[in-house]
Structure 1
Amino acid sequence: MLSRIAEAMYWMGRHIERADTTARIVDTYLHLLPSGTWKQENQIVRELVESMGLAEGTPDDPDLLIRALVFDGERASSVAGALIAARDNARGVRDVVPMEVWECLNVTWHGLRTRSTSAAGPHTFLRWVAERSAMANGLIDQMMSHDEGWHFLNVGRSLERADMTVRLLASATQGTGTPWRALVTATGGFEPFVRYHGENMGRRSALEFVLLDRRFPRSVFRAMNAAELSLAELEAAGANSYGDPRRDPSSARRLIGRVRTGLEYRSGPELEDELTTVLTTLQRAVENAHVAVTKSFFRQGDAVTWANQSTLGALA
């Protein structure tokens, strides 16, 4: 597979996941904050935004802040900007992705123009984004051959999912007062949590579910495991087509495998006691894995478009 195609697939996966997860997080907090108390609760949301590395260039005014995070098409980290970037990457590899996937992303791109100017408000827009992202991911998994292109996309999607979830967890552990129900809901896991654990949700149970659960597809463990499996498939397929002995296609898999193993055999009490170290290790592993994937498979790569790469450094 050509390097440019592999890179486009990788970033398409990251951008779709970024749009979906950011939409879930923003919609959850808008929904849970009591009506009329946004300005009083603005500090909580501001700290959440900062922990996700999205604060640079965002305004202090609450309404403008939401507009920047949701509707600003010039910011790749915003919901609209990520969808635009996903569509741009898909356009460059239309001969690789199924027509249904391209049409889904293209229709979504066209819909941004009218949805972003609608008077219905951000909640309606964000729900629409979640539905369109789910449709795109469903078509990718059900209509696309699980070949090298799909595995590159899955690596990008899985790394982005793990990174976003770790940043969300960081915001909930820095004394912001973030409710644990909001954290689990923002990952799309409230109903699965209640089904297996009941409605008695506390710090430990929420952390164990979001980080360690083996059944929930958006847990950090499942995301890291999915990335590791796809990287193993790419390594076996010889996806490093340049034949450069300095390139090591297994380096990213080793990085992810180490932290995935650390999660797999960590107990709940250990997780809570060592949470700061665990989150810092996970974030660094995702960042280093991205660098390793870029060096091993792509001619050149863009840095992850987080404004603040060292969010968790202050926790160490």
Structure 2
Amino acid sequence: MLSRIAESLFWIGRYLERAEDTSRLLDVHVQLLLEDPVVDEELASQALLAVMGVDATEQADQASVMRLLGWDPQSPASMVSAFWGARESARRSREVVSTEVWEAINTTWNILQRGHIQRARPAQACQTVRERCAVISGTADSTMSHDQGWQFLVLGRSLERIDMTARMIEAAAYNADSPQAWLTTLRACGAHHAFVRTYRGADSDREAAEFLLLDRLFPRSLLFSLNRAESALVNLDVGERRAGFTGDAMRLIGRARAELEYQPLSEILTDLPARMTALQKTCSEANDAVAFRYFEGAASVTWQAGVR
């Protein structure tokens, strides 16, 4: 597969996942401000921007959060920027992206460009973005061959999901004194319903952390996503060696997965923020390793939106 196409598919996966996870975070943030009158809006807004790596130079409130993470095309962390990146990546790989996927991405971009979503209530806007991401992902799943190109898309999606989930867990760990911290994180990950069914109504912070970190069946847990990324790397390794690792990305992801899976939960929780920061660094290093191995021959591209 051409490096240019492989790289584009990889970034389609990353950008779409980033847009969806950002919409989840924004939705929970808005609901928290509405449901809990004692929450300090400025502190909560600053915390969310910090989780997303945004340095706010102005007073942080709901309006500025929605602008910086939602609709500002100049903000690399915004959903609009993520969709712009996904559309540009899809345009560069039109020969392998199915017509249905291209139309779904382009339709979403046109909706954003016209400002229809931005004029809706914040909760409705976030729900619409999530639904459009689900439409695109489901369309890709059912209309694209699950070949090497598909594996790159899955790998990009998985790495982005690991990074974003680690950011949310880190924020919950820092705010563990708040009785709503882990409940908010479960909701942000779309995990609350699955968590309640799995633990039959138990709602301790320890069990919430265990679910988001180690559940093997929930698709947004860290362990599930690490396994999915590792599987994609195995499927991409057409020249599999009989011993050792065939690439730095496999080594990085495999080590992170093993450290998470085989350490006692009590040890993981001892210094959870530092572990989540280290996992984000691992994702960045794995991203660079994938780029070096598979995308080195791709034409130089200047990305105007999204964080690389």
What corresponds to 1:281 in structure 2? 278
Q: Does 1:189 find its partner at 2:186?
A: no
1:251 touches 1:292 (CA, 8 Å); kept in 2? yes
Query: Which amino acid letter does the alignment assign opposite residue 6 of structure 2?
Result: A
CA separation of 1:146/1:38 partners in 2, compared to 1, >3 Å: closer, same or farther? farther
| 2:174 partner SS | coil
Q: Which residue does the alignment assign to 2:288?
A: 291
Confirm whether residue 123 of structure 1 aligns to residue 123 of structure 2: yes
In 2, the alpha carbon distance for the partners of 1:79 and 1:129 equals 8
Q: CA RMSD in A?
A: 2.5
Counterpart Cα distance in 2 of 1:38 and 1:302: 44
| Alignment partners' CA distance in 1, 2:86 and 2:153 | 11
The 5-angstrom pairing of residues 231-246 of structure 1 reads: 231-236=233-238
- Structure 1 residue 254 and structure 2 residue 256: aligned? no
How far has the Cα of 1:171 moved from its partner?
Answer: 1.1
* Counterpart residue identity of residue 270, structure 1: E
For residues 277 and 124 of structure 1, the distance between their equivalents in structure 2, rounded to whole angstroms, comes to 35
Q: Which segment drifts farther, 47-56 or 111-120?
A: 111-120
Q: Secondary structure of the equivalent of 2:53?
A: coil
Corresponding residue of 2:75: 75
Taking structure 2 as the reference length, what is the TM-score of the superposition? 0.89
What is the letter of the counterpart of residue 263 of structure 2? Answer: R
Counterpart CA distance in 2 for 1:262 and 1:2 is 34
Alignment correspondent of 1:244 = none
Q: Which residue of 2 aligns with 1:19?
A: 19
Q: Deviations over 1:60-111 (max 9, x none)?
A: 3431221221111233321111012101110111110111111110111111
Match of 2:263 among 263, 266, 281: 266
Structure 1 stretches of 5 or more lacking a match? Answer: 239-247, 308-316
Task: Tell me, yes or no, if the aligned pair for 1:48 and 1:168 is still in contact at 8 Å.
Answer: no
Number of aligned positions between the proteins: 298
CA-to-aligned-CA distance 1:198-252 (integer Å, 9 cap, x gap):
33322211111111100000111111111111111111268xxxxxxxxx96210
> What is the CA–CA distance in structure 1 between the aligned matches of 2:289 and 2:21, rounded to whole Å?
24
In 2 relative to 1, CA 172–259 (structure 1 residues): closer, same or farther, beyond 3 Å?
same
Aligned in 2, Cα 1:302/1:185: closer, same or farther, shift over 3 Å?
farther
Check conservation: 1:252, 1:292, Cα contact below 8 A. Answer: yes
Higher mean C-alpha displacement, 267-276 vs 88-97: 267-276
In structure 2, list runs of 5 or more residues that go unmatched: none
Q: Over residues 96-142 of structure 1, what are the superposed CA-to-partner deviations in whole Å (9 max), with x where a residue is unaligned?
A: 01111111101111111334565422211110000000111111222
Paired residues of 2:82 and 2:306 also in contact (CA < 8 A): no
| Alignment partners' CA distance in 2, 1:283 and 1:290 | 11
Paired residues of 1:249 and 1:293 also in contact (CA < 8 A)? no
Equivalent-residue separation in structure 2 for 1:99 and 1:59 (angstroms): 43
TM-score normalized by the length of structure 1: 0.86
SS at match of 1:231: helix
Cα distance in 2 between the residues matched to 1:224 and 1:92 = 28
